[in-house]
Copies of this chain bind each other. A is one copy, B any other.
Amino acid sequence: MVDLTLEDIALQAGVSRSTVSRVLNHQPNVSQDIRQRVMDVIEVTGFQPNAAARSLASHRSWTIGLVLPKGVGAFFSDPYFPRLTQGIAQACNMYEYTLGLFIVNSVEDEEKIYPRISRKGLLDGILVQAGSTGDHLVERLIQNEMPIVALGRPINQCCVNYIDIDNYGSSRIAVEHLVKLGKKRIATITGPQESMAGRERMRGYIEVLGDNGFELDEKLIAYGDFTQASGYSLIRDLLPAKPDALFAGSDSIAYGALQAINEVGLKVPEDIAVVGFDDLTGPNTSLSKHQLTTIHQPVFQFGMSAVELLIDVIENGMTPVRELIVNTELIVRETCGAPKDNES
């Protein structure tokens, strides 16, 4: 297939280059029959406009970047980022954007990548995962007046567009569920307190206990890092305090804890009820003998909404600041010991 240009199409259709351009960009001011004639030629020739030329002339690349800062790269082993990425990619396909992926693996990467993503003509906008290192990047990017949306609410940062779930409210619902089930000694293994998610989920736990007149017992609290390994090891520190329930800061933590609980011979949910957070259906959940009660966050949809939000920012400008909170849902399964719902 020889390289075609607008000019070639124009020639074949017997019109001017501008007209072909108008048809290509779905502009209104073209008569029906000419439009059809041009479209036919495009169809037959399989013409695709040159992306670089289009970007250069229009100052729009139709490409957005997904930036995963150092640190979250490690999280790539859990199903969260893959799912998120899929949602983002899906939305990009829908809106005919190209997705650029920037994974920061090291400190050196960070400095090298930054100029590349902020250079003109490459990206129309940026999605950046919030988190300790990410937030630093967010700051620099914003000063560059590049359309940007943070995935998760950045810490120490105002006036940033972001999309997030209601971590605080959701964890309240999870812990309240445990309270309603009559649990009296509710333990928690939280995520990292440097992350907004870890912090807010913790805050929900603390406040629900307070609201219900429970005393905070440090022996029932452990600080993990969202991983299965941390759940597995930290629950052992908590067990001596005889908890009758565990609110895990993530499903991974919950699964780790579940396994350890199992190994010491305790029963779930009889001896200890467990509620997780995330509901990422992955290999773990499918075969687990425990059906985990958890907070479902719609990761795929979250990714899609993030793209939509970013496109909105690209098209309508950075002000006002957008803050989008996506709904979660408590999924009652078996590990909390709640009576079964009446099913129809």
Contacts and interface: CB of A to CB of B under 8 A. Distances in A.
24 contacts: A1-B143, A3-B120, A48-B115, A48-B118, A52-B56, A52-B61, A52-B120, A52-B122, A55-B121, A66-B101, A77-B82, A82-B82, A93-B105, A96-B112, A96-B116, A98-B102, A99-B100, A99-B102, A100-B100, A227-B283, A228-B286, A229-B286, A255-B283, A256-B287
Contact of A103 (B85, B100, B281): B85
Contacts of A119: 48-51
B76 A86 contact: yes
Interface string A110-129: 00110110111110000000
Interface centre among A81, A83, A89 (most CB of B within 10 A): A89
Interface of A: 1, 3, 46, 48-56, 61, 63, 66, 73, 76-79, 81-83, 85-86, 89-90, 93, 96, 98-105, 109, 112-113, 115-116, 118-122, 143-145, 227-229, 232, 252, 255-256, 259, 281-284, 286-287
Given A48-B118, A48-B119, A93-B113, 20 more contacts: A1-B143, A1-B144, A48-B115, A50-B56, A50-B119, A52-B53, A53-B56, A56-B56, A73-B86, A76-B85, A81-B82, A85-B101, A89-B101, A89-B105, A98-B100, A98-B116, A227-B283, A228-B286, A228-B287, A256-B287
A103 B90 contact: yes
Contacts of A66: 101
A61 B63 CA distance: 13
A101 B97 CA distance: 11
Contact of A252 (B56, B116, B283): B283
A127 to B, nearest CB: 12
B228 A283 contact: yes
A262 to B, nearest CB: 10
Q: Which 3 pairs across A and B sit closest by C-beta, in order of nearness?
A: A52-B55, A52-B121, A48-B119
| Secondary structure class of chain A's binding surface, majority of residues | helix
A110 to B, nearest CB: 10
A94 to B, nearest CB: 9
A51 B86 contact: no
B76 A82 contact: yes
A229 B281 CA distance: 13
Contacts of A101: 66, 85, 89, 99-101
A121 B82 contact: no
Contacts of A143: 1
Given A52-B122, A86-B73, A120-B48, A284 B284 contact: yes
A256 B268 CA distance: 22
Contacts of A228: 283, 286-287
Contacts of A232: 287
Contact of A229 (B3, B105, B287): B287
A76 B280 CA distance: 12
Given A52-B56, A228-B287, A103 B86 contact: yes
Contacts of A96: 112, 116
Among A112, A284, A287, the one with the most B-chain Cβ atoms within 10 Å of its Cβ is A287
A122 to B, nearest CB: 4
